[in-house]
Amino acid sequence: MDAIDRKILDVLQQDASLAVAEIAKHVGLSVTPCWRRIQRLDELGIIRRRVALLDPHKIGAGISVFVSVRTNEHNADWLQHFADTVADMPEVVEFYRMSGEIDYLLRVVVPDIEHYDAFYKKLISTVKLSDVSSSFAMEQIKYTTKLPISAKSGVKT
């Protein structure tokens, strides 16, 4: 990946809906070479997908809850069951296995406390957990889907 690829990725992270001609103009290429580079970045899996980012408040998903989970179960079958359960819960938008005192961290988005309570009850009735702790985000100070791209980033192409 060279400097032009990194510029293309930077532009796409800002606005993936731009026409290839507009992207090419931003990075100093003509349309066809720019399109070929984007295709290659797609084929290499560097670009995973292109999506629309929605305003959570306007669609009734304005409350973010960070859910810390601890368990005494540390085996592949339990993890698969937990992962499958979480995959079927659309309120969970991020799910991580952690190091340290917390085993798993979920980011859950809901419209209100009542919906979170229903989510919580469903979660604890479906999966054996030893501790669940919820923290409600009071204010979102920074949010981005844009990843930093440095000269050391990426794969050799």
Q: What is the pLDDT of residue 78?
A: 96
List the structure tokens of 67.
């859910």
What pLDDT digit, counting tens, does each position of 107-134 carry?
Answer: 999 999 999 999 999 999 999 999 999 9
Q: What is the pLDDT of residue 155?
A: 59
38 shares a domain with 80? no
Residues 6+ apart with CB under 8 A from 54: none
26 shares a domain with 71? no
16 shares a domain with 76? no
Judged against a pLDDT cut of 60, whether residue 157 lies above it is answered with no
97 shares a domain with 36? no
CATH number at residue 16: 1.10.10.10
85 shares a domain with 37? no
Residues 6+ apart with CB under 8 A from 22: none
pLDDT mean over 35-58: 96
* Domain span including residue 97: 63-136
- Per the domain annotation, does 88 fall within a domain? yes
Q: What is the pLDDT of residue 151?
A: 75
The model's confidence at residue 34, banded by pLDDT at 50, 70 and 90, is: very high
List the structure tokens of 51.
């999506």
CB-CB contact of 63 with 136 (8 Å): yes
Q: What is the pLDDT of residue 150?
A: 82
pLDDT mean over 72-79: 95
71 shares a domain with 17? no
Instruction: Give the DSSP per-residue string, 35-77.
Output: HHHHHHHHHTTSS----PPP-TTTTT--EEEEEEEE-S--SHH
Report d(CA 41, CA 37) in Å as an integer: 6
- How many domains does the chain divide into? 2
76 shares a domain with 27? no
30 shares a domain with 87? no
115 shares a domain with 73? yes
CA-closest candidate to residue 106, choices 71, 75, 76: 71
